[in-house]
Structure 1
Amino acid sequence: MVGHKVNYYVFTDRAKEMPNITLANGRQLEVLEVPSYKRWQDVSMRRMEMIRDYSQKKFINEVDYLVCVDADMKFMDEVGVEILSDVFGTLHRAFYGASRTQFPNERRKASAAYIPPDEGDFYYSGSIFGGTVEGVYKLTNFCHHEMMTDKKNNIEAIWHDESYLNKYFLYHKPTKVLSVEYHWEDYLGVQEVKRKRFVLIRKNDTAIRNK
């Protein structure tokens, strides 16, 4: 977002461990301390609730757009205002060439995240999405509400918050779809894209999730 004012909001349950970071003029960082959860699945899913609540009470008064991204991603190229829209989704790097029957959507009809095998345009990543504050509020509110509905019925969607995000985009089409340039993994061994703008950092998932 070169040339624009940017606020960085960092959600963490370990706020005291955040380093001091010097930013350029027009940019500021704010650490938002959030609850800790024992299960990584709950950490992932509960962020929808956190983003929703902060959108309503804070973000709406401070910014025009929100870009929500996982912390384990790294900027490798320019990312600018070309991504902004009322609500945008990003193609998942592992399924952008797959048919809809291969998408890892929730297939249990009892789940609020259920998507029939013959429906769905794309499979979207939960690692990067965004839009206007109002657009993000609607998306995250939907996802959190559906998660709580499933939770009451002792159901957990197959890919957690990403499953509910895909259900939302099935019936509320994003006004912009970002290519896999914005959600790439170098260790896939595939090099179709010429520019890798936002890349997932390789990590030991098992070690992190067992902490």
Structure 2
Amino acid sequence: MNLKRKILVLVSCVFSFLLLEHRLRPPAEELRLSDWFHPGTADQYLELFMRSANKHFMTGYRVVFYIMVDALSRLPDLEPDPLRTFKVLPIKGDRWGDFHLTRMSSLAEHILGHIEDEVDFLFSMTVNRVFQNDFGVETLGTSVAQLHAWWYFKNKDIPYERRPKSAACIPFGQGDFYYDGSVIGGRPLEVLTLIEGYLQGVTHDHKNGLNSTYERHLNKYFFTHKPTKLLSPEYSWNAALRPPAQVWSVKATRLSRRYF
């Protein structure tokens, strides 16, 4: 695998991946990093996200930024760089529907429709983050999970789904890590398998009158399908928390609305 020829794709979207049309045909491998954010926060988060990603995300590699939003006035002014391409793609979606369900269902369709043939690695991240240090190819893997910044340092009261009838249930006394739902990644078909597991779990719960969270379904999936790559909390640190001594270098920080 020649990483020097890898094309990295950074995507931002609001609701879903309805227009993930991408016409590059790279001679080697390509990574798609997809980012979603809640409606109304695009203008708040996007400039910080893009400026920091432009500086720290996969430096030295070719990156295509697909900015997918329902409404965006303009892109931040960034210094021209032959390794960086930016394109805005408008999307439409159900603003009042289940955000995670819409997002994951659409992503699954696009993995099957074209992503699996276009890229070798697929990342999804929330856009409410600022990259602070190099976020490089050490993060690539077949199945990538992000350790939760808060719960990584706790050993009790982990917020797993405990109701036995839920598909997301992890019984009391079981469980390992608690995973952060804001970052998932891996080979496209591995991500597809994760999505299918999530959608099946949601369908099961709805039929039984239950409603668990996306993150709890994600944790159940990684409990039964161990990821091949774990990202330490420094790759998605919560800006509201003071880094402990164990966290030497924060790679990316997640921001909350109170920072704007």
Q: What interval of TM-score do these two structures reach, taking the shorter chain for normalisation?
A: 0.7 to 0.9
Instruction: Select the structure that is richer in strand.
Output: 2
Out of 1, 7, 13, which is 1:11 matched to? 13
Match for residue 95 of structure 2? Answer: 37
- Within 5 Å, give how 1:92-111 maps onto structure 2: 92-99=148-155, 101-111=156-166
| 1:189 Cα deviation after fit | 3.1
Which deviates the most, 182-191 or 72-81? Answer: 182-191
Change (3 A) 1:120 1:2: farther
Match for residue 249 of structure 2 among 195, 198, 205: 195
Give the alignment partner of residue 63 of structure 1, picking from 105, 115, 119.
119
Q: CA deviation at 1:32?
A: 6.1
Alignment correspondent of 1:24: 81
Cα offset for 1:135? 0.9
Distance 1:187 1:165 in 2: 23
Q: TM-score, normalised by structure 2?
A: 0.69
CA contact (8 A) 1:67 1:131 kept: yes
1:83/1:129 CA distance change after superposition, 3 Å: same
Alignment check: 8 A CA contact 2:71 2:90 kept: no
User: SS at 2:222's partner residue?
Assistant: helix
Change (3 A) 1:109 1:18: farther
8 Å CA contact 1:68, 1:128 repeated in 2: yes
2:182 paired residue among 123, 127, 131: 127
Matched, 1:81 2:137: yes
Gaps of 5+ in 2: 16-68
Q: What CA distance in whole angstroms lies between the structure 1 residues aligned with 2:7 and 2:73?
A: 22
Is this contact kept in 2: 1:8–1:28, CA < 8 A?
Answer: no
Q: Is the 8 A contact 2:162 2:172 kept in 1?
A: yes
Tell me the distance in 2 between the aligned counterparts of 1:32 and 1:137: 24
Q: Which residue of 1 aligns with 2:47?
A: none
Counterpart Cα distance in 2 of 1:145 and 1:18: 37
Whole-Å separation in 1 of the counterparts to 2:116 and 2:92: 19
Query: Secondary structure of 1:121's partner?
Result: coil
Identical residues among aligned pairs (%) = 28
Structure with higher RCO (Cα < 8 A, 6+ apart)? 1
Task: Determine helix, strand or coil for the equivalent of 1:102.
Answer: coil
Which of 158, 171, 188 pairs up with 1:116?
Answer: 171
Instruction: Report if aligned partners of 1:7, 1:27 keep a CA contact under 8 Å in 2.
Output: no
The structure having more radius of gyration, on CA atoms, is 2
Q: SS at 1:66's partner residue? A: strand
User: Are the structure 2 counterparts of residues 24 and 139 from structure 1 closer, same or farther at C-alpha, using a change threshold of 3 Å?
Assistant: farther
- Preserved CA contact (<8 Å) 2:161 2:168: yes
Gaps in structure 1 of 5+ consecutive residues: 206-211
What is the CA distance between 1:18 and its match in structure 2? 5.8
TM-score of the two chains, using structure 1 as the length reference:
0.84
Q: Which amino acid aligns with 2:150?
A: A
What whole-Å deviation, never above 9, does each CA across 1:8-61 have from its counterpart, x for those lacking one? 22222543416346663344445362413326xx21343222222221112112
1:208 matched to which residue of 2?
none
